[in-house]
Structure 1
Amino acid sequence: MNEVTMRLNGLVKTYLKGTPGEVQVLRGADLELRAGEAVALVAPSGAGKSTLLHIAGLLDTPDVGSVEIAGKTVNGKGDRTRTAIRRQDVGFVYQFHHLLPEFTALENITLPQLANGVSEKAAQDRAMSLLDRVGVAPRAHHRPAALSGGEQQRVAFCRALANTPKILLADEPTGNLDPETSDQVFDALMALVREEGLSALIATHNMDLAARMDRKLRLEGGVLRPVE
């Protein structure tokens, strides 16, 4: 059995606590994510997908419940420890690429590695290898503004995987693209996930894309339920 890379147990998250507008977004959400599997997270807008991903990626904390990343329990850990775990073990992809506009595609992928203590030569080699695998190597020295939307998002995938994380969290990673480009970009993402042996939790409204993953979960009423 593949190892559990992420375990979420009993997550509860409430916004505007104690006010008339109080909203309980998560009500005891549980999840185990195993090495090598891609899991689709589906839910209507406002159901709490982004909240769940932010807690899973240590960008937010639950009111109740625990988070375990790569065998490390992070409850009660300080910001420095949480940042170190996130930088080492978790990669993020968002609907919008959020690439640094003043840097080239290659530099956008190299910089996170340099911040993690990797040598410049090794960082550039890793960046070029990733760009080559998603078909954007010929555009390595172009800035984001000179890239198409699909190319920008592929570079964002590469950046997320630059530091060889164990877990990839993606929030509507193709939601800003037209259907044809979305399919192509999603294929590139899944190829990277499989080649790197990652665990991936990918939020999407697109049920065709969700069907191409190993299993599907629906966030409904603040809890996660399997989708048959």
Structure 2
Amino acid sequence: MSDAVLELKAVTKSYNQGAANQIDVLRGVDLTLNAGEMVALVAPSGAGKSTLLHIAGLLDVPDSGSVTVAGQDISGKGDSMRTSLRRQELGFVYQFHHLLPEFTALENIILPQLANGIAQRAAEARAEELLALVGLSARAQHRPAALSGGEQQRVAFCRALANRPRVLLADEPTGNLDPGTSDQVFAALMDLVAGTGLSALVATHNPELAARMDRRVKLEQGRLVDL
């Protein structure tokens, strides 16, 4: 039985800019992410890494090719199944934290669990567990505006993992932080991955961070190559 939790096979995606101008962003991408694996996705700006992450995360549909998440091929599936699979199996982190400003750190992690049908007490326990893993138990009742940039991003990691996904997709998760804070936040991410057993595909421009992951792939002229 395969250990793959995410598979992309021959995925293509193009966009039209005007009647005679087609931009081929992805030209047959193949990617396998195995259970417990942390993979760095390296690509210059405009190369299509966000497009790739959106397709992997079931937020966009490829023009051709297949996407399999947790053993389920979602090719041709409807929005309801895609949404359900996305909620159950996938977590997302972006360059900016996108925390809800009117809620505390703890509440920001509780809310997606409640939306997924988790009982209040169990959701609170899960949020407290995750905050402890990233060293933020003492900041649980603080709202985002009272947190530092690094703390905000660590809370965003916790929120992404609240519903126990199998796969974390991260788009430049430390790109908005200074080098010192970036290193601390990335260390917290690695601890979360190790502590929860999930897999992660992390887009980054930072070669030092990429080197700390299990494997590195580069998006080059619409295809993935191993580094």
- Taking structure 2 as the reference length, the TM-score comes to 0.98
Q: Which residue number in structure 2 is paired with residue 58 of structure 1?
A: 58
Unaligned runs of 5+ in 1: none
Q: Which residue number in structure 2 is paired with residue 9 of structure 1?
A: 9
**Cα displacement string for residues 77-122 of structure 1 (whole angstroms, at most 9, x for unaligned residues):** 1111100000000000000000011111001000010111111000
Alpha-carbon separation, structure 2, partners of 1:109 and 1:20: 46
Question: Cα offset for 1:17?
Answer: 6.7
Unaligned runs of 5+ in 2: none
Q: Quick one: which amino acid aligns to residue 34 of structure 1?
A: N
Question: Cα offset for 1:194?
Answer: 1.0
Alpha-carbon separation, structure 1, partners of 2:154 and 2:18: 42
Q: Which residue number in structure 2 is paired with residue 225 of structure 1?
A: 225
Q: How many residues align?
A: 227
SS of the residue 2:174 aligns to: coil
Say yes or no: does 1:193 pair with 2:196.
Answer: no
Say yes or no: does 1:111 pair with 2:111.
Answer: yes
Q: Which residue number in structure 1 is paired with residue 67 of structure 2?
A: 67
Alpha-carbon separation, structure 2, partners of 1:185 and 1:129: 17
Q: Quick one: which amino acid aligns to residue 102 of structure 1?
A: E
Say yes or no: does 1:126 pair with 2:120.
Answer: no
Question: Cα offset for 1:2?
Answer: 6.7
What is the identity percentage for the equivalent residue pairs of Structure 1 and Structure 2? Answer: 68
Q: Which residue number in structure 1 is paired with residue 145 of structure 2?
A: 145
Q: Which residue number in structure 2 is paired with residue 94 of structure 1?
A: 94
Question: Cα offset for 1:20?
Answer: 2.8
Q: Quick one: which amino acid aligns to residue 62 of structure 2?
A: P
Q: Which residue number in structure 2 is paired with residue 30 of structure 1?
A: 30
- Taking structure 1 as the reference length, the TM-score comes to 0.98
SS of the residue 1:142 aligns to: coil
SS of the residue 1:176 aligns to: coil
Alpha-carbon separation, structure 2, partners of 1:19 and 1:88: 39
Is the 1:2–1:36 Cα contact (8 Å) retained in structure 2?
Answer: no
Question: Cα offset for 1:137?
Answer: 1.1
Structure 1 runs of 4+ with >3 Å offset: none
Question: Cα offset for 1:21?
Answer: 2.9
Following superposition of structure 1 onto structure 2, how do residues 130-209 of structure 1 map, counting pairs within 5 Å?
130-209=130-209
SS of the residue 2:24 aligns to: strand
RMSD, aligned α-carbons: 1.1
Q: Quick one: which amino acid aligns to residue 168 of structure 2?
A: L
Alpha-carbon separation, structure 1, partners of 2:221 and 2:4: 25
